[in-house]
Structure 1
Amino acid sequence: MTVQGTGADVRTRLRRLLRHRTTWALTAATLVGAVLGAGLVGWRTGTLPWSQELRPCWDSLSDETLDTLMAGAGRREAEEQKLLGPGWTARCRVLAYSREEHRQDDVAARLDITVRTLDTLSGRDAHAWSAEFLSTGLTPLGGGLRGMASRSRAWLALPQQCVDGEDPVVVEARMGNQDKEDLISPERRYGMARAVVETANGLLGAYGCTGRHRLPRPPRDLDEDAQEEREKKRDGAARAALCGLAGAPVPQEHGTWLRRAARNWVDGGPARVCGMGHPHADFEARLVTVVDPELSLVFRAEALGGGPEISDSELGRGAFTTGRAVFMTRCQTGDVVFLAEQTHGKDSDWTFVRDVFPLYVAAEADRLGCGPQKVTMPKT
């Protein structure tokens, strides 16, 4: 179903909807005059009962997914922006209200869905988006899906052949407090993963693209999955000793950091992330390898001109600043990006990135079969 229609079509649809018994509320097709951000489209406004024929977020989200994410809440309402086609930003929001009679106007849960094109020109998303969505708090969706999910964040890249241009288009989902990412919650993560996959499938249909993503597998048993997740982290830490730098000549003063980081290790998806948290930031330091060629484009502008140049043989380009280094090179699977970043630390000279990054690039390039990569950091 599309979000457009004639006045007669809309009236006919509304009469049909009103005959259904439901607890949903849906925004009508009347567009308000206000514009929101770069999308230049307004929210649909007004409330009407929901039916089984229409689902929130461009007819995408199922009751099962919303029940998983909003269990125990009362009535739900949805509002969404008009879809203008691939490459255009659009937003959807689902609100669940309290069941308590005297608090029925209080929002008990909120799910925000955004579809947008990642910025590959300014380098803004190389910083802000990667800090939020390429984190050890998220784990890969699995099943060949190009995305990751946690209890409060999830994202999924749409197939490139279905969108205009070469820039990656992603579905993002946010719900709850990102500061609690370390809490093990397989059910919530499963709900967030379903939310981005269902939304992506709805968009593929709206854009006229063939094929649909398979939904993530549900957790078998919450306690069993929680134990399995803990075991995976321990096994991952053992395999990822010093973030893949075991045997490399890592300066002694950075060994403690790397041992801490190796306890938080995410692999098997579009990016490999090794990092440590900080009480007042998303991370204290991290090492990232982006293996998805389309996602690597987000870092291209920074690699080509984001600071003093990192030199290499003729295999790649990179840039370095005091607390961050990025290097982009070509492997058999396409473009790959290596990233090191430090946001906090007792190191007053901020030497972590300068000392560790060349070792990390060499180790990861060898692991991926990219050929020998010997980067040289600039002196300034």
Structure 2
Amino acid sequence: MNDSENNEGNENSESNKSNETNESNGNSTHVPLHERRRHWWHWQRLARSRPRLAVIMAVTGAIVGALLGGAGVAWQAEAGPFADDRACWGAFSRDDAAALFDGKGDGKGDGKGDVKSSEVPITSDRTGAEGSSGQCLLTRDGSRITVQTHQLDTRFGGAGDQWADEFLSARLTPLGGGLLGMASDTRAWLAVPDGCIGRPRDADVTGGPTVIDLATGWTLYDDEVNTEARDRLARAVVKLVNHYMAEKGCTGTIADPIGRMPEPPRFLDEKKDAMCGVEGLPLPRGYGRDSLGRTLVTRGAGPVRTCDRRVLFHHPELRLMTVEDPRLAMLYARLSENGAQKRIKGDEHDGYGFVRDDMGLFQAECQTGPVTFLIRADSGRRRAEIRTLLPRFVAAEADRIGCGPLHITLPAEG
């Protein structure tokens, strides 16, 4: 706020110059990046007096109430064309937002760039125990993109959770460069680095990471991944995290991930002795393209390797997954301890887990930290297959990532 706002009726040029000098010297209080430039029509520049401010706030309240009253959601931000030409907490320009829909930025106002934004500000609870959370919704001509900031919840274990189904899908490829994140043509996510500040508390090394993710709608899993669309989402999620860190006072930035990402996944022609491309893991009797659909496997080294078969509405009928990054494996720590009464045993206390009708899970303590091995079916009809596959899957994948030899013993049935 400038001197003319603090002292009504004392709008002389010297006070204004003094105020500008203070701002340029960095003596003003911290102002978020997206609020530092005020257009001439901004309410803080128009409201030079309390009576005028009161009128403006009354009119604004009436307009916002009319816009939001029928929506059923108390968005605490703009609903409509976004203020200051910024959206999603100030991270996106109008052209940035338009490009997410069609790959082309268009801020000329001819309809192609007419993107509307509604958002819930990123906030934290008083103790900081739950991490940051916020949501941004971008819409244009019936299309919608949802952006979320949230801390992954370890209480759900990630196994049956919708987030894991969608954002750890085999369609996504790692962002590379040591980043904890992935992208496809309809989904992208990236964890905020722990150093700035991806965990709600410095001592909270067992909590889930804080991530920002984007979702553009339903995925047609029979289609191949569109690389150009994937790259747009990858750049967008990096832009979001960089802006988030800058708002927290961080000085570092994450580089453009395009160029180091592996090629999108391709449908796999499985060999009989290499289910999901895992050498030494034979296909169970009767398994094949007709029994469980086409097979899609994550490409490239990254936080997770997922094999999905016959995915419907983001939920795979069968999933084999190895979660290599310890920060992401923490999502399964509680589940591996409490998933069943009869727990799996590993050699020399290498880990712990369980097996049941619809799932088998083992979390091992490797040199790099916890690693999760998981087989999950969409029903209890795969009990025999899960019991057959899990020990071989754990042994083969442990050897692949350098955590072996690792042998597990399943509890007796019954």
Q: TM-score, normalised by structure 2?
A: 0.70
Q: Return 5+ residue gaps in structure 1 as ranges.
A: 18-27, 98-106, 220-224
Task: Give SS of 2:135's match.
Answer: strand
Is 1:92 aligned with 2:136? Answer: yes
Aligned to 1:127: 161
CA deviations 1:115-174 (Å, max 9, x no partner) are 001111343666332112111121222233211111221111111221323321111111
CA deviations 1:307-360 (Å, max 9, x no partner) are 23111121101122211111111212211111111126xx95632211101101
Q: Is the 8 A contact 2:316 2:378 kept in 1?
A: yes
Aligned to 2:87: 56
Q: Return 5+ residue gaps in structure 2 as ranges.
A: 1-30, 47-59, 103-110
Is 1:312 aligned with 2:356? Answer: no
The residue correspondences of 1:357-376 to structure 2 (distance < 5 A) are 357-376=390-409
Out of 122, 125, 148, the residue aligned to residue 83 of structure 1 is: 122
Out of 323, 338, 355, the residue aligned to residue 290 of structure 1 is: 323
Task: Give SS of 1:194's match.
Answer: helix
1:42–1:277 CA distance, 2 compared to 1 (3 A): same
What's the % identity of the aligned pairs?
31
Q: Is the 8 A contact 1:137 1:182 kept in 2?
A: no
Aligned to 1:20: none
Aligned to 1:157: 191
- Give the Cα separation in 1 of the matches to 2:292 and 2:218: 27
- Deviation, 1:78, is 1.3
Task: Give SS of 1:373's match.
Answer: coil
1:157–1:12 CA distance, 2 compared to 1 (3 A): same
Out of 68, 72, 90, the residue aligned to residue 99 of structure 2 is: 68
1:125–1:91 CA distance, 2 compared to 1 (3 A): farther
Q: Is the 8 A contact 1:242 1:262 kept in 2?
A: no
Q: Is the 8 A contact 1:201 1:212 kept in 2?
A: yes
1:249–1:67 CA distance, 2 compared to 1 (3 A): closer
Q: Is the 8 A contact 1:88 1:117 kept in 2?
A: yes
Task: Give SS of 2:362's match.
Answer: strand
Out of 32, 37, 50, the residue aligned to residue 2 of structure 1 is: 32
Q: Of the two, which has the highest radius of gyration?
A: 2
1:206–1:349 CA distance, 2 compared to 1 (3 A): closer
Deviates more, 1:321-330 or 1:278-287: 278-287
Q: Is the 8 A contact 2:184 2:233 kept in 1?
A: yes
Q: Is the 8 A contact 1:250 1:359 kept in 2?
A: no
Aligned to 2:374: 339
1:217–1:272 CA distance, 2 compared to 1 (3 A): same
1:74–1:303 CA distance, 2 compared to 1 (3 A): same
CA deviations 1:179-230 (Å, max 9, x no partner) are 45734312221222122111111111112223111123279xxxxx9xx65x
Deviates more, 1:314-323 or 1:77-86: 77-86
- Give the Cα separation in 1 of the matches to 2:34 and 2:234: 28
Aligned residues: 341
1:146–1:65 CA distance, 2 compared to 1 (3 A): farther
- Give the Cα separation in 1 of the matches to 2:282 and 2:227: 38
Task: Give SS of 2:327's match.
Answer: helix
1:45–1:250 CA distance, 2 compared to 1 (3 A): closer
Q: Is the 8 A contact 2:395 2:405 kept in 1?
A: yes
- Give the Cα separation in 1 of the matches to 2:99 and 2:366: 40
- Deviation, 1:279, is 4.6
- Give the Cα separation in 1 of the matches to 2:390 and 2:372: 12
Aligned to 1:173: 214
Task: Give SS of 1:143's match.
Answer: coil
- Deviation, 1:242, is 2.1
- Deviation, 1:73, is 3.5
Alpha-carbon RMSD across the aligned residues, in angstroms, is 3.9
Is 1:144 aligned with 2:183? Answer: no
Aligned to 1:22: none
- Give the Cα separation in 1 of the matches to 2:170 and 2:356: 23
Q: Match of 1:69, as an amino acid? A: L
Deviates more, 1:172-181 or 1:144-153: 172-181
Q: Match of 1:2, as an amino acid? A: P
Q: TM-score, normalised by structure 1?
A: 0.76
Aligned to 1:211: 252
- Deviation, 1:254, is 4.5
